[in-house]
Amino acid sequence: MESKIGAGMTLTQEAAQRRVADIISAIPVVLTEYRCPLCARVFPGYSGLREHYEAEHAGAIAPIVVMLMLNGKGCEVLIEPHWTLKRTLQFRLGLTGTKHMCDKGVCGSCTVIMDGRPVLACQILTAECEGRDIQTIEGIAADPKWKPLIDAYCRWDAMQCGYCTTGFLVTAKALLDRNPNPTERECREALAGNICICGTYPRHSQAIIEAAAAMSGGGVDG
């Protein structure tokens, strides 16, 4: 049993960037096996799985294959039709930076960017995501362009327990995409849908404004 997947002990920005890039590259583009969610039998092709359903699980709704465009990479994924994007990211693609908190569209911890807009992955069916451009925290963290934002969040320690942090960061990235120089008020408005029980709110605006300055060529006091 693989156990090294858990640790997540990464001390530098460069190491973290490499790690998330590895996670993205490990996602297979094409499915090579099709596992039955009801009995765990594995089939080499989708048609085999469909036939198995008709024969063994008549009346049950068969899984479907969806082509997702995630972090600039196309990938096939086998899901059940009712699965949310949040569930697919975690259980099919190993992208656990999109966090499960309320599962009700309230907390913002599962925020991803879809076609340029921050959206809640717990409220979107994966089946509806085909052909949409989806960015997760892993894609943002792997992109050197967004190093200043990651750096600023870490420098400002805009996190405590860290569970909600990635949701904030994805929302912040979406904000900077549409507004490269946000004011504090604009930062607060953009982040209004993200909840942090630790109370790190003031730090987020500071980090975003610092990142915006760095990305536009301004200096960073430090």
Partner 1 sequence: MADLAGANGQREDFRVVGKHNLPGKLSYALATGIAKFGIDYVVPGMAHAKFLRSPYANARIRSVGTARARAVPGVLDIVTWEDEDVKKLGAGGFGPPAAYIDDTADMENAEVGVVVIAENEDICEEALRALDVDWEILPHVVDVLKGRQDAAPIARQRQDAPSMFAPPPSQPKRGNVSYAATVQGDLAQGFKEADHIVEYTLKLPAFLSGMPNPPASVAWWESDPYHGEGPDLHIEGAVQRRENVGMMYGVPPEKTVQTGLFQGGRYCDWGLRKSQEITPLLAKRVGRPVRCSNTREETFDFLMNERYMYLKVGFTNEGLITAVDDFSIADNGAYGSSSFGAANDQGYGPYYTLKCKNISQRMDVVDTNRGKMYLSGQHCPFNWDSGTMAIYLIAEKLGLDPIDVAKLNLHGPDSQDDTRPVPSFEACMEAGRELMGWQWHRSGERTLPDGRRHGASFRYQICPRHAFSGYECKL
Closest to partner 1 by CB, 143 vs 182, is 143
Give the up-direction half-sphere exposure of residue 169: CA atoms within 13 A in the CB hemisphere. 29
Smallest distance from partner 1 to CB 32, Å: 15
* Nearest Cα to Cα of residue 118 among 192, 209, 182: 192
- For residue 16, give Cα distances in angstroms to 23, 92, 203: 11, 22, 21
Element (H, E) at 69: strand 64-70
Q: Which residues bind partner 1 (CB under 8 A)?
A: 1-13, 15-17, 19-20, 23, 37-40, 57, 60, 80, 82, 90-91, 94-104, 107, 109, 136-138, 141, 150-151, 153-157, 159-166, 169, 195-199, 222
Shortest Å distance, C-beta 93 to partner 1 = 10
Q: Residue 181 CB, nearest distance to partner 1 (Å)?
A: 20
**Cβ distance to partner 1 smaller for residue 66 or 136:** 136
User: Could you tell me the smallest distance in angstroms from the CB atom of residue 196 to partner 1?
Assistant: 8
| Phi, psi (degrees; rounded to nearest 5) at 76 | -85, 145
Q: Which is nearer to partner 1, 101 or 127 (CB)?
A: 101
Please, what is the minimum distance in Å from the beta carbon of residue 66 to partner 1?
17
The residue (of 131 and 152) whose beta carbon lies closer to partner 1 is: 152
- Which one, 80 or 133, has the nearer CB to partner 1? 80
Nearer to partner 1, 76 or 151 (CB): 151
- Minimum distance between the CB of residue 103 and partner 1, rounded to whole angstroms? 7
